Structure 1
Amino acid sequence: MRLFRCAACEQLLYFENRRCEKCGHDLGYIPETNELAAVEREGDHWRALGRSKGLYKFCANAAHDACNWLVPAEQEGEFCVACRHNRTVPDLAIPVNLSKWRKVEMAKHRLIYSLLRLKLPLESNEDREGGLCFDFLADDPGGSTPKVMTGHDEGLITIALAEADDAEREQRKNDLGELYRTLLGHFRHEVAHYYWNCLVRDGKRLTAFRAMFGDETADYGGALKAYYELGPLPDWQVHHVSAYATAHPWEDFAETFKHYIHIVDTLEMAASFGMRVRPRLDKTGELGAEVDFNPYRACAIQQMVDAWLPICFSLNSLNRCLGMSDAYPFILGPGVIAKIGFIHDLVHDRVPLDVEDGPSPPPPPELEPAPMEAPAA
């Protein structure tokens, strides 16, 4: 994620801004150019300032104040590249649903931003069966049906609307003994299962995956049951980014993918702010960092890690000064960094293909039951 600038008045803008508070122009995000554009109405459409050609329309979800992405005026369909992946939204006539759905959409749009910046495949069910799509579901207020479970099933990602309630999410975080749980983390974890399908299973990279993460054909249900009954091994932090990552190779991949997006997105924002870390008491320079590169490009993973660790130390220290928990309470040991490097190479198409097809793996599991939800960061 990065900062933006208003084309009309040069005011600094943030990704979620809908209106420039300095000049009053409406703002719309153009995903094709990664631009938050100041726009002016022209007939039934909108023109981006500074552009002599091309008219746009706002995504249909702008009517609910849930999206401000722009669509070329000539494009068929009323939804933007992010919202066309929505399969189900909650009953928006219920005010509390609308409020929570807006929070969910904010996290989803940040997810799609990252996927677009990484140039990852983004097929919806409109493109092909098994494409990426979302169900945002609210619990039955009467309690006559089971609570909605966050999970995945062959490209269909279900997000429980209850996760948009801060108190409810904090309670689940405490109940599950998690370090970190956010809506954005849910999206990044669950979408990783979709990209395991696309880039590993269908991309014929099972051999390299198994060498790094283990054999995914191991019984998934049994592995989760054992994890929740016995917990992770005492030395899990040597090779796993989170305790939940130890449950099964699928979850190890999803947790690592999630943290990779955390790192890339945060480093881009740090670069946008021109952040430098130079602790005065550090005579060795080991805690110094300057984000003077684009983490969304195929740079060296060690360059990213060398910048990430000092940035994290500073963020965590600042949070503690405010009486808050660490912003990033995780340890990145050599084994974890190697797995993050695998994800980095995978998204940039640098993981070798299988020499020959191995045994066909079973399909990914259906929706994960509520007690087994992955820790979200």
Structure 2
Amino acid sequence: MIEGATWYTCSNRGWGCNWLVREDAPAGKCFSCRLTRRQPDSNDTIALEKLGKTEEAKRRLILQLGELGLPIVPWDVKKGGLGFDLVSSLSTGERVVIGHANGIITIDLAESLDDRREALRVRLGEPYRTMLGHLRHEVGHYFQNVLLPDDAAWDRCRALFGDERASYQDAIARHYSRGAPEGWSESFISEYATMHPWEDFAETFAHYLHITGTLQTAAAIGIHLDAGVTNRDTDVEPLESYRDEPIQRLLTDWDWMSQAFNRINRSMGSADLYPFELVGPVRHKLAFVHDIVTKAPLTLPEQIALALPRDMERT
């Protein structure tokens, strides 16, 4: 019993879900699992194993979106609402294209295999590729439509990212035949972001989630940098929420903390945790994302606030 309501474990607990379901929920699945529109057949045990790993990443995403106060309307409640098709190209033999269309995010479960995902990362020349990264990028496409309510907001967005009404198919053909333009790193967070204004926004949104999520974790476990180490007047103390803080505070904290995290990774012989450079134009784009996110109605959906087990790892 929680706050007068009876809650049960999610019916998908057998393959790893640790969220709860209120007794009057429309199904025996938790809020995150109900957002999954399509998944492998119940007899496809190999694909379902991959699904478990991807659903864990999705729960992290949904929890972070809820804590940021971003509105989540499920696909089965409203046309164009958020939903996920989680299918495996290895199991079905079908071509699965990771992407977003009309609120539905499609993810290829085959990429939960480290060797397959790493091979794709190397072949595409990407410094970073994870399942959570895919989810954060694709949900950026969804929220671009949700968080820009009027023409004035779209005009501000286009001034930074470009006109998204430009042909996407032409942009794809150009990008994969010519690659990113020379000097791309002076204005974009990644080569992929140069392909089309939609992708630039989604990449920037994903990095906003990377940054805020990692700083939240650092704050939750008490990581900070002493002023004596950074030669600053004050310690660098990350916050669990930057909703009421200017973008400058967020990015300054991240500059210092990401340097520290990169050094820790190097000491283990690993690649940098955050192998990206936040140049001036990218910072302006992140400021825009910060603005529209923090101006969104602050509503932590009850399904998220109460559907978590009390000992759940929050990040």
- State the TM-score, normalized to the length of structure 1: 0.74
**CA shift for structure 1 position 243:** 1.1
Alpha-carbon spacing, 1:286–1:170, altered in 2? closer, same or farther (3 Å): farther
**CA shift for structure 1 position 242:** 0.9
Given residue 88 of structure 2, which amino acid in structure 1 is its aligned partner?
A
Query: Which residue among 144, 151, 157 is the counterpart of 1:196?
Result: 144
* Correspondence 1:1-377 to 2 at 5 A: 47=1, 53-62=4-13, 64-139=14-89, 141=91, 143=93, 145=94, 147-200=95-148, 205-278=153-226, 282=230, 284-285=231-232, 289-291=236-238, 293-349=239-295
Q: Indicate conservation of the 8 Å contact 2:227/2:233, yes or no.
A: no
Q: Indicate conservation of the 8 Å contact 2:15/2:49, yes or no.
A: no
Q: Which moved more, 1:64-73 or 1:109-118?
A: 64-73
**CA shift for structure 1 position 81:** 1.5
Given residue 122 of structure 2, which amino acid in structure 1 is its aligned partner?
N
Alpha-carbon spacing, 1:217–1:299, altered in 2? closer, same or farther (3 Å): same
Cα distance in 2 for partners of 1:204, 1:162 equals 41
SS at match of 2:295: coil
**CA shift for structure 1 position 129:** 1.0
Given residue 85 of structure 1, which amino acid in structure 2 is its aligned partner?
L
**What is the CA deviation profile of residues 175-229 of structure 1, one whole-angstrom value per residue up to 9, with x for unaligned ones?**
1110000000000001111111212267862111111111111111111221222
Cα distance in 1 for partners of 2:148, 2:229 equals 45
User: Which structure is richer in relative contact order (CA contacts within 8 A, separation 6 or more)?
Assistant: 2
**CA shift for structure 1 position 59:** 1.8
Cα distance in 2 for partners of 1:187, 1:202 equals 26
Q: Indicate conservation of the 8 Å contact 1:117/1:296, yes or no.
A: no
**Higher strand residue share:** 1
Cα distance in 2 for partners of 1:276, 1:220 equals 43
**Aligned residue for 1:16?**
none
Cα distance in 2 for partners of 1:61, 1:340 equals 36
**What is the CA deviation profile of residues 282-301 of structure 1, one whole-angstrom value per residue up to 9, with x for unaligned ones?**
5x32996211x332523211
**CA shift for structure 1 position 332:** 0.5
SS at match of 2:135: helix
Cα distance in 2 for partners of 1:203, 1:125 equals 25
**Which blocks of at least 5 consecutive residues in structure 1 are unaligned?**
1-46, 351-377
Given residue 118 of structure 2, which amino acid in structure 1 is its aligned partner?
E
Q: Indicate conservation of the 8 Å contact 1:295/1:304, yes or no.
A: no
**Aligned residue for 2:307?**
none
Q: Indicate conservation of the 8 Å contact 1:155/1:194, yes or no.
A: yes
User: How many residues of Structure 1 are paired with residues of Structure 2 in the alignment?
Assistant: 296
Cα distance in 1 for partners of 2:281, 2:151 equals 24
SS at match of 1:130: coil
Q: Indicate conservation of the 8 Å contact 2:242/2:250, yes or no.
A: no
**CA shift for structure 1 position 312:** 0.6
**Which blocks of at least 5 consecutive residues in structure 2 are unaligned?**
297-315
Q: Indicate conservation of the 8 Å contact 2:80/2:102, yes or no.
A: yes
Name the Cα RMSD after superposition: 2.1
**CA shift for structure 1 position 281:** 5.8
Q: Indicate conservation of the 8 Å contact 1:288/1:310, yes or no.
A: no
**CA shift for structure 1 position 306:** 0.8
**Percent identical:** 40
**What is the CA deviation profile of residues 354-373 of structure 1, one whole-angstrom value per residue up to 9, with x for unaligned ones?**
xxxxxxxxxxxxxxxxxxxx
**What is the CA deviation profile of residues 336-375 of structure 1, one whole-angstrom value per residue up to 9, with x for unaligned ones?**
111111001111227xxxxxxxxxxxxxxxxxxxxxxxxx
Given residue 290 of structure 1, which amino acid in structure 2 is its aligned partner?
E
Alpha-carbon spacing, 1:107–1:202, altered in 2? closer, same or farther (3 Å): farther
Cα distance in 1 for partners of 2:66, 2:229 equals 40
Q: Which has the larger radius of gyration?
A: 1
Q: Indicate conservation of the 8 Å contact 2:90/2:110, yes or no.
A: no
